[in-house]
Amino acid sequence: MARMASPAQLGYPAAPNRVGKRRVITAPRHLLQIEGMHPPQIDTMLDLAESYVLLNRSGTTQRDLLRGRTLINLFFEDSTRTRTSFELAGKRLGADVINMSVSTSSVNKGETLLDTAATLNAMNCDLLVVRHGQSGAPNLLAQKVDAAVINAGDGTHEHPTQALLDALTIRRRKGRLEGLVVAICGDVLHSRVARSNIHLLGTMGCRVRVVAPPTLIPNQAERLGVDVFHNMKDGLQDADVVMMLRLQRERMSGAGSLVPSPREYFRFWGLDAEKLAFAKDDAIVMHPGPMNRGVEIDSAIADDPVRSVIREQVEMGVAVRMAVLDLLARSNRRND
């Protein structure tokens, strides 16, 4: 198998770190958010992930890369895709992977998040993948532990690996990111997926729109550099990419006031063939999952083999997480 390029060969990271004319190469210690990342850093991760797509499709694994390293999945919120793909990614790179079951852990006896993390840290964990309901929880942990911390979704804040896998999916389908019109539709207010995608796609030169009823758009959304639309016809007009979001009912208190009934919501905001016709003829349809069919998306669209790239997003998720583990492990080498 061909040797993987080093972060330096990949030109990581971006321009801001310069000494005279020389670019200083420093790989990240943690992956906490997309906000603040620069295009070359994002390109580096996507390029490395691309090489992992090819590797995965060839059926080859690279079990020596993370041999002797320990990855702990610490999920305080439910997950199917993210937790499983981090586990697969870690195992394909040779790490020892532990999935901590929070629901049967000492968290139930009152142990705090910080004490839990400190305990795992004392076991010499190298990579800590954290999903938590509180925005900022992974950032807090990153200040307290030696392990590299990866944010697997924190409250309504960010879900950085989701945005990276979405970008990889778009780039593979469209050949580029720059100049594409991307419509992010649905519960933008509560969506960490939307926030990470807004930062990443905006940074990479996409024209990002958010399309939702006013109750599901954050205050002053325009400050994030997006165009705001309150109907699907205008919002989807000539879009290259249509990204649908699930209604995050678990983050709504008094949901009745924010959204109508599921049937009513689908009528105005659910993606069906009629609404998709407003987008470009070759527009692709995305969804981070889990989907609520018949609420934000019609089954016929979700399962359309030509327009829907939802399954491909899941495949890209494994490759992106392998790339992230690879880069962080290189920059967090223990003195062993």
Q: How far is the CB of 284 from ligand CP (least distance, A)?
A: 17
By CB under 6 A, the residues from 67 to 86 that bind ligand CP are: 79-82
Q: How far is the CB of 81 from ligand CP (least distance, A)?
A: 4
By CB under 6 A, the residues from 82 to 141 that bind ligand CP are: 82
Q: How far is the CB of 260 from ligand ASP (least distance, A)?
A: 19
Does 290 sit near ligand CP (CB under 6 A)? yes
Residues sharing a CB contact under 8 Å with residue 336, sequence separation 6 or more, in sequence order? 68
Cβ proximity to ligand CP: between 133 and 290 the closer is 290
The answer to whether the CB of 50 falls within 8 A of the CB of 26 is: no
Q: How far is the CB of 331 from ligand ASP (least distance, A)?
A: 26
Give the Cα separation of 169 and 288 in Å (integer): 11
Backbone φ/ψ region at 124: left (φ over 0), alpha (ψ -120 to 50), beta: left
Q: How far is the CB of 87 from ligand CP (least distance, A)?
A: 11
132 is in the binding site of which of ligand ASP, ligand CP, none (Cβ under 5 to 8 A by kind)?
A: none
Cβ proximity to ligand ASP: between 83 and 275 the closer is 83
Q: Which structure tokens are listed for 87?
A: 């586990």
**According to CB under 6 A, which one of 95, 127, 193, 204 is a site residue for ligand ASP?**
193
Q: Is 326 exposed, middle or buried (0-12, 13-18, 19+ CB in 10 A)?
A: buried
Does 196 sit near ligand CP (CB under 6 A)? no
Q: Is 135 exposed, middle or buried (0-12, 13-18, 19+ CB in 10 A)?
A: middle
H/E element holding 208?
strand 207-211
Cβ proximity to ligand CP: between 179 and 290 the closer is 290
By CB under 6 A, the residues from 128 to 187 that bind ligand ASP are: 153, 159
CA atoms within 13 A on the CB side of 121: 15
Q: Which string of DSSP letters, residue by residue, matches 21-63?
A: TEEP----S-B--STT--HHHHHHHHHHHHHHHHHHHTT---T
Query: Which one of the spans 9-17, 67-75, 283-291, 297-305 is the region binding ligand ASP (CB under 6 A)?
Result: 283-291
Does 192 sit near ligand ASP (CB under 6 A)? yes
Residues in binding contact with ligand CP, number by CB under 6 A: 9
The answer to whether the CB of 160 falls within 8 A of the CB of 221 is: no
Cβ proximity to ligand CP: between 10 and 31 the closer is 31
Cβ proximity to ligand CP: between 85 and 332 the closer is 85
Give the Cα separation of 39 and 200 in Å (integer): 9
Give the footprint of ligand ASP on this chain (CB under 6 A). 153, 159, 192-193, 246, 248, 288-290
Give the footprint of ligand CP on this chain (CB under 6 A). 79-82, 153, 162, 288-290
